[in-house]
Structure 1
Amino acid sequence: MMDPTLFAAFSVGLAGAGHCLGMCGGIAAALGLGASGKGTVIAYHGGRLLSYTALGAAAGLATGIVDTAAWTLFLRYLAGTLLLAMGLYIADWWRGLAWLERLGARLWRPVQGLASRWLPPRRPRDAVLLGLCWGLMPCGLIYSALALAATRQDPLASGLMMFSFGLGTLPAMLAGSLGARQLQSLLRRRGMKLLIAALLMAAGAWTLYITASHSGHLLAASAGGHAHH
């Protein structure tokens, strides 16, 4: 069976269109209106995706240091729970994940000061650096996707998940940069958000079910391996 978390990471980015446009739409629109043209827009979003991917790889490396059955089970349960939570968050039925944004705001302040050095970006290099900084902004969707990516316990897999998340944000952000109002309207529709929220919650429920079904076997196999040692 295909791991649902890769699709989930993309869906979180896509479904968070309204959230993304609210938090980053201003800078995206400014880039689109700038004299430096589409090259700067592409450089900025490339920097954002690079930032997300690097964060995912670091998270996967950190969680992969511990390799026990109990830790792996905990991370899988966490992944399923986060999928459910993100579905509720995107559907605006529960805003519990907003605490991540409040926590991240403290970490964002020094980065924000650094990012201001490249506003407005006059060259593609400045836009890349600005995008790298903007990937660290206090956003509950970013942090939730990062926590989900960390459950993969592998730098490559976790980095790929965050790259997928970044790809999911591109339609909304590019629409903001290029002034595609019809696409922005589509991505903000309540029905679209509810559809993706339902898919995320279904993926979360399935992840929890599969984890619970195989937990006994995984723990027994781990215990048997330790006994042989």
Structure 2
Amino acid sequence: MTLQHQLIKNHDIRRMITDLLAALLIGLIGSSHCLVMCGGIAAALQLSMPTQNLLRKMQLQSLLSIGRLTTYSLFGAAVGYFGASAMQFAGVSLLWLRLIAGILLLMMAMYISRLWFGLIQLEKLGQSLWRYVQPVAKKLLPLDSPAKAYSYGLCWGALPCGLVYSTLSWSLASGGLVQGGLIMLSFGIGTLPAILLTGSAANMLTKLKNMQLFRYISATILSIYALYTIWNAIHRLVY
């Protein structure tokens, strides 16, 4: 392997790690929206679980989340593979997708800072899919077995959510199947604290994420990375 190829490989690895950390941060900070969209669902699902000991309920709740993250990862892998294949077929550089990814990341930073709520409009795009998934999910209730809990989690992952769709669009520019799946998995892991925590712990997390300074700091970090992604894509396209 030549020195140039080694440098390119190292750059790609660093970029992937940074992408995963950014996706994790988006999931963590943006999960205040998840509490609105999914918090009620999570609470209702806990009530739908038969009266069992705490350990059993924790097991079922964990399987719900694993199922949701599985769907996220599969969607991310599919669009990542599609994006890379489409660009290769068209003979177009993947850097154009990286440019789009940077723009989407900047939009997500604006959403997290609550300066712009356009991402919510993306949720309308998933309504048609959810109409087919929801009846299947209802048939799995009550959640009285691990198989039902995991299967319901798979359905839950298809719930329309603008933040999920935006991150999914970012996976499109990831460059491949594995990269796209990992980005969505990282995003999903970032949402777990908001979904799994209950009571006072959840309230404390929500208050922290609702603090204006905290949101602005998080949005600034994402914006810096978004601008770097945009600059890097344009620089490599031009030179």
TM over 0.5: yes
Q: Secondary structure at the match of 2:175?
A: coil
- The unaligned stretches of length 5 or more in structure 2 are 1-10
1:90·1:193 contact (CA, 8 Å) conserved in 2?
yes
**Aligned residue runs from structure 1 range 60-79, under 5 A:** 60-65=80-85, 66-67=87-88, 70-79=92-101
- Taking the aligned partners of 1:31 and 1:176, their CA distance within structure 2 comes to 13
- Taking the aligned partners of 1:164 and 1:170, their CA distance within structure 2 comes to 10
- Taking the aligned partners of 2:210 and 2:139, their CA distance within structure 1 comes to 32
Deviation at 1:100? Answer: 1.0
Letter in 1 for 2:78: A
Q: 1:88 aligns with which of 82, 107, 110?
A: 110
Q: Answer with 81-90 or 70-79: which moved more.
A: 70-79
Q: 2:223 aligns with which of 201, 208, 212?
A: 201
Structure 1 pair 178–60 and aligned structure 2 pair: CA distance change class (3 A): farther
1:53·1:159 contact (CA, 8 Å) conserved in 2?
yes
Deviation at 1:146? Answer: 0.6
TM-score (norm 1): 0.87
- Taking the aligned partners of 2:219 and 2:147, their CA distance within structure 1 comes to 36
2:95·2:236 contact (CA, 8 Å) conserved in 1?
no
Deviation at 1:177? Answer: 8.4
1:15·1:192 contact (CA, 8 Å) conserved in 2?
no
Q: 2:79 aligns with which of 50, 59, 62?
A: 59
Q: Secondary structure at the match of 2:197?
A: helix
Identical columns (%): 39
Q: Answer with 42-51 or 28-37: which moved more.
A: 28-37
Letter in 1 for 2:203: R
- Taking the aligned partners of 1:105 and 1:145, their CA distance within structure 2 comes to 17
Q: 1:22 aligns with which of 30, 36, 61?
A: 36
2:96·2:233 contact (CA, 8 Å) conserved in 1?
no
- The unaligned stretches of length 5 or more in structure 1 are 218-229
1:32·1:178 contact (CA, 8 Å) conserved in 2?
no
In the other structure, the counterpart of 1:49 is 69
Deviation at 1:153? Answer: 2.3
Q: Answer with 127-136 or 97-106: which moved more.
A: 97-106
Deviation at 1:53? Answer: 0.6
TM-score (norm 2): 0.84
- Taking the aligned partners of 2:230 and 2:75, their CA distance within structure 1 comes to 25
Deviation at 1:69? Answer: 6.4
Q: 1:148 aligns with which of 170, 175, 181?
A: 170
Q: Secondary structure at the match of 2:97?
A: helix
Letter in 1 for 2:35: L
Deviation at 1:61? Answer: 1.3
The Cα offsets for residues 94-131 of structure 1, whole Å up to 9 and x where unpaired, read as 12222211111222111112111123311121111111
In the other structure, the counterpart of 1:221 is none
- Taking the aligned partners of 1:176 and 1:189, their CA distance within structure 2 comes to 19
Q: 2:119 aligns with which of 66, 78, 97?
A: 97
Letter in 1 for 2:98: R
2:84·2:94 contact (CA, 8 Å) conserved in 1?
no
Deviation at 1:133? Answer: 0.7
Deviation at 1:32? Answer: 4.0
Runs of 4+ in 1 over 6 A off after TM superposition: none
In the other structure, the counterpart of 1:159 is 181
Structure 1 pair 17–188 and aligned structure 2 pair: CA distance change class (3 A): farther
Q: Secondary structure at the match of 1:122?
A: coil
In the other structure, the counterpart of 1:174 is 196
